[in-house]
C-alpha cells in the first residue's frame, strides 16, 4: 500500500512537534486575543508576526502574499492564526535548533507538495490524500490545524449565518501546510552541523 509521500521528504522523528507545544501556543494566543493596541487590534499577534517576518523572511513573505489576497474573512483570520501558531510551535519546541528557511528551500517544498498532489490525483485508488500524507509526517500539527479549521467553519456558520468560501480556506490551509513542511526540514538534528540544515 502506498502510504507515505513519494515526493515529500520524510520528517525525522526528532523534528516532530509534540501536541503539548500546540496546546501551549493555543493558550498563549488566546491570552493575546484579550490585549489590544491603540487601534483596537491584537498587539501581541502583531509583535509575533513581526518576529516571524524577522526570523523567517521567506516564509513570512509567502504567507503575506497569500493572506494579502481578497479572501473570505474567516479564511483570512484562520490563515494568520494557523501560520503564527505553527511557527511558534516549532520555535518554542526547537529553540536554538530551528534554522531559517531560504527562498530555494521554500521553492523546493512548494514543488514537492505540488508533485505529491499530482501523484495522488493520478492514483485515485490509493486511500490517502495529500493532507493524510502530511499528517503522517507532522501528526500533531495537522491535527491542530484541522481542529481549528472545523471550529472556524462551525462558528461562522452558527454565529454569522453564512457560508464560508471553502476555496479561500483551501488556499490558506495549503499555505500553512507549506510552512509546516518547510519548518520541519529546518530543524537541526542531534549531531547535525548548522551548514547541513535543509541540505
Q: What is the pLDDT of residues 4-33, one digit of tens each?
A: 677 899 999 999 999 999 999 999 888 766
State the pLDDT at residue 196. 52
Which of 88-92, 139-143, 153-157, 194-198 bottoms out in mean pLDDT, i.e. has the lowest?
194-198
Tell me what the pLDDT averaged over the chain comes to: 88
C-alpha cell at 102: 531560504
Give the pLDDT band (50/70/90) at residue 173: very high
On the CB side of 39, how many CA atoms lie within 13 Å of its CA? 5
Q: CB within 8 A of 90, min separation 6: which ones?
A: 17, 98, 183, 184, 186, 187
Percent of the chain at pLDDT > 70 equals: 86
Q: Is the pLDDT of residue 113 over 50?
A: yes
Residue 187 DSSP label: B
Which of 4-13, 41-50, 101-110, 122-131 bottoms out in mean pLDDT, i.e. has the lowest?
122-131
CA dihedral 19, 23, 26, 31 (to 10 degrees): -160
Cα dihedral sign for 27, 188, 110, 55? Answer: positive
Q: Is the pLDDT of residue 42 over 90?
A: no
State the pLDDT at residue 127. 56
State the pLDDT at residue 122. 81
State the pLDDT at residue 107. 98
Cα angle 151, 121, 116 (rounded to 5 degrees) comes to 80
pLDDT tens readout for residues 71-111: 999 999 999 999 999 999 999 999 999 999 999 999 999 99
d(CA 195, CA 188): 10
State the pLDDT at residue 40. 47
Amino acid at each position: 500500500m502506498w502510504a507515505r509521500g513519494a515526493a515529500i521528504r520524510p520528517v525525522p522523528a526528532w523534528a516532530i512537534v509534540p501536541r503539548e507545544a500546540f496546546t501551549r501556543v493555543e493558550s498563549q494566543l488566546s491570552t493575546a486575543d484579550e490585549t489590544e493596541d491603540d487601534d483596537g487590534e491584537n498587539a501581541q499577534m502583531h509583535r509575533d508576526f513581526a518576529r516571524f517576518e524577522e526570523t523567517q523572511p521567506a516564509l513570512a513573505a509567502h504567507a503575506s502574499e497569500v493572506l494579502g489576497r481578497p479572501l473570505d474573512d474567516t479564511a483570512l483570520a484562520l490563515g494568520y492564526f494557523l501560520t503564527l501558531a505553527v511557527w511558534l510551535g516549532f520555535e518554542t519546541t526547537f529553540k536554538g535548533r530551528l534554522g531559517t528557511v531560504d527562498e530555494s528551500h521554500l521553492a523546493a517544498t512548494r514543488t514537492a507538495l505540488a508533485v505529491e498532489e499530482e501523484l495522488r490525483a493520478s492514483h485515485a485508488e490509493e486511500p490517502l490524500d495529500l493532507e493524510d500524507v502530511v499528517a503522517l509526517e507532522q501528526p500533531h500539527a495537522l491535527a491542530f490545524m484541522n481542529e481549528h479549521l472545523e471550529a472556524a467553519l462551525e462558528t461562522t456558520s452558527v454565529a454569522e449565518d453564512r457560508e464560508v468560501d471553502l476555496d479561500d480556506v483551501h488556499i490558506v490551509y495549503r499555505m500553512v501546510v507549506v510552512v509546516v513542511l518547510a519548518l520541519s526540514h529546518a530543524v537541526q538534528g542531534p549531531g547535525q552541523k548548522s551548514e547541513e540544515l535543509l541540505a
